[in-house]
Amino acid sequence: MILRKPAQPQSRHAMAPTDLGSFTIFGKGTSLRWQLALMTAAMVTIAVGAMTTVTYWTMSTSLAASVDQNLDEKASLLMQRTLDPLYVVNLNSEVQRFKTYHPDIRISVSPPAWSFFYGDSIPVGGDFTPTGVGEETSVRTVGNDRILTKRNSMGTTVVLAQNMDSTQKLVGALGAVLLVISGLGILLAIAVGMVVATAGLRPLGRLQRAVDYVAQTDDLKPIEVIGNDELAQLTTSFNEMLGALQESRVRQTRLVADAGHELKTPLTSMRTNIELLMDVYRMGKLGEMSKEDLDDLEHDVLAQMEELSALIGDLVDLAREEAPEHDMEPVELDEVLEHALDRVRRRRPDVQFQFHADPWIVEGERAALERAIMNLFDNAGKWSPVGETVRISLKAARRKAVLLVDDSGPGIPPEQRERIFERFYRTDEARAMPGSGLGLSITKQVLDRHGATIDVEESDDGGARFRVVFSGRPGYDGSDSDSGSDDGHTASDLRGELFAERWIRDNVESP
């Protein structure tokens, strides 16, 4: 049952549902309160209707069966009486006596060996069914009469007919009473449904007011949770969403503040140098500056422009990583490492790089992985002294691969190792170095998205060691291996895998 409101002209804005207490069904806006009430009424109507139908059918069937049983008992008694010769001799008076005691029943009797019936004129016939030893019974309805005919093997036949007007009136009265009760039940169900819907939707209305308050005031304070039902769980989920929004807002505010602070430093230096150059030019003293001073000024401006450009690029990369995820595809990690290393070598020609990588395949985005790994390599090259070596290795086993990046720099104090992946965080030593403090944050974000873990340790020569653990699969194809092995690998391959798994256990899974 659907309550349809008459169509009314509405503005486009008014047609948009804004009330949490209503939603759209079949293009017509119907109050959720009314829908719950009508749904309750419909279910009660179905239940009451089914109960009324069953009750009516049961009562009418029971009354008809009671009439049949009464007639059958009387017919059996009369058949026994016909065996008495005195009863047959006085059949006329016996029939009149029966009608005196049962005025609503007509009777017709044919004793044994009689060829005619004595009593009322009642049609004999119908489908006979065996009901006892040598007895047959027929029950049928003719007009308003219920006719029962019983005969036996000795030729005795008794026919009784009872008028059903009183029974039908009783059944009709019962049906009317049941119909009135059903109507009252439906009305009561609608009223109860409205009360239940109003009480049940009260927490939803409170949630709606809280949503309106958030929309109007931009205040993300949590909503009070009452009870532990489904609406309370909905409120808890809504509070979690508000918390996530608040955290996102805080991160955004911090990002804008930190980005503004970081951008202000190179811009201020550039402005100072450019204003100095303009003042010298206006005073006509540009020719009086030495070539060394001009070269220093030019070097400072170019360095500040490069720093500003790198910072903007890092911010763009960070925003790109916070965008919706891209489609993942198989990526050959060893090739990504090699390509990123080639780019870093061109940027850090004064540092040596020692590189080895086992073939390994991961599911991910190639460009993002290369950008993250290049930041990791560039960081190691930046902190390694001139002429020192950055050691890079990718060791693969059956289920995990470990990337180790060791530099020869001063290392990272243990108390600062967790914070170096925060945005714009820079250690005291790092503040004197060029950079924005976003490279490792971008790396961490990309690796987390690809299901990899990254940790910071101390390298063998006191520098920093970055350990990255990737999931995936080996990049080799085992189809050309010795066919004598059950899984397609030679004995040497199996020994190598066992060694690699032990190496993973010792170097990855151990704290």
Q: What is the DSSP string of 309-356?
A: HHHHHHHHHHHHHTSPPPPPEEEEHHHHHHHHHHHHHHH-TTSEEEEE
Q: Write down the pLDDT at residue 239.
A: 84
Look at residue 20 and tell me whether its pLDDT is greater than 70.
no
d(CA 226, CA 236): 10
Residue with the bigger pLDDT between 190 and 159: it is 159
Domains and CATH numbers, the chain: 18-106+164-219 (no CATH), 230-314 (1.10.287.130), 325-476 (3.30.565.10)
Q: Which of 209-223, 258-272, 477-491 has the highest mean pLDDT?
A: 209-223
d(CA 257, CA 333): 36
d(CA 456, CA 443): 13
**Helices in 7-134 by DSSP H: which ranges?**
12-15, 32-81, 85-89, 91-101
CA torsion through residues 422, 424, 428, 430, sign? positive
Q: CA 244, 247, 252 angle in degrees (round to 5)?
A: 125
d(CA 290, CA 275): 18
In degrees to the nearest 10, what's the CA dihedral of 227, 229, 230, 232?
10
* Cβ contact 215:245 at 8 Å: no
Alpha-carbon separation of residue 113 from 85, 373, 399 (angstroms): 12, 117, 104
Q: Write down the pLDDT at residue 261.
A: 66
Residue 360, SS3 per DSSP: strand
The pLDDT tens digits for 326-359 are 678 999 999 999 999 998 888 788 899 999 999 9
Encoded tokens for 210: 């809280």
Least Cα distance to 70 among 99, 108, 118, 102 occurs for: 102
d(CA 130, CA 150): 10
Q: What are φ and ψ of residue 106, in 5° steps? A: -95, 150
Q: Helix count (H) and strand count (E) of the chain?
A: 11, 16
The residue type of 310 is: A
Residue 473: CB atoms within 10 Å: 15
The pLDDT tens digits for 441-452 are 878 888 988 899
Model pTM score: 0.42
Cβ neighbours of residue 474 under 8 Å, at least 6 residues apart? 358, 359, 360, 361, 396, 397, 398
In degrees to the nearest 10, what's the CA dihedral of 94, 95, 100, 102?
120
For the segment 372-397, the average pLDDT, to the nearest whole number, is: 88
Look at residue 406 and tell me whether its pLDDT is greater than 90.
yes
Q: Are strands 389-396 and 352-357 parallel, antiparallel or unpaired?
A: parallel
The residue type of 193 is: G
Confidence of residue 262 (pLDDT cuts 50, 70, 90): low
For helices 230-282 and 291-321, the axis angle rounded to 10 degrees is 170
d(CA 500, CA 511): 18
Q: Are strands 329-332 and 157-163 parallel, antiparallel or unpaired?
A: unpaired
Residue 40: CB atoms within 10 Å: 19
The pLDDT tens digits for 115-125 are 788 788 888 87
For 101-115, 239-253, 415-429, 475-489, which range has the lowest pLDDT when averaged over its residues?
475-489
The pLDDT tens digits for 269-325 are 788 888 888 888 888 777 777 888 878 888 778 877 876 776 676 677 666 655 545
Q: Are strands 135-142 and 129-132 parallel, antiparallel or unpaired?
A: antiparallel
The DSSP 8-state label assigned to residue 414 in this structure reads G
- Cα 474 to chain centroid distance, Å, stands at 35
Residue 11, SS3 per DSSP: coil
- What is Dmax (Cα atoms) for the chain? 164
* Cβ contact 118:109 at 8 Å: yes
Encoded tokens for 265: 């430093």
